[in-house]
Amino acid sequence: LNRRGQRALKALDGIALELGVPDAAVAVAWLLAQRTVVAPIVNAYAPEHVDELVQGAGVQLSRSHLAELTRAAQ
């Protein structure tokens, strides 16, 4: 993981902890909030991963969450 990846993961971790959802759910919610993403492509290796990813469709990220994730990913 490079520095950008570490920053993004740290932001995901913090927001996930704040919202009480898995990191994967926050990642999917962030992707769904992007205007340029029509449908995020995700991959799950275990049934519990599918549940975490599906949760992302119901996660509401605030503007500050979106800004934090965007900054971290740049």
Phi, psi of 70 (to 5 degrees): -65, -45
Average pLDDT over the chain reads 92
pLDDT computed for residue 54 by the predictor: 92
pLDDT at residue 2, as a whole number? 92
Q: What is the mean pLDDT of residues 23-33?
A: 94
Residue 22: predicted pLDDT: 96
- For the stretch 31-61, pLDDT in tens is 999 988 878 788 888 888 899 999 999 999 9
- Domain chopping of the chain, boundaries: 3-73
Residues 61 and 54 sit within 8 Å (Cβ to Cβ):
no
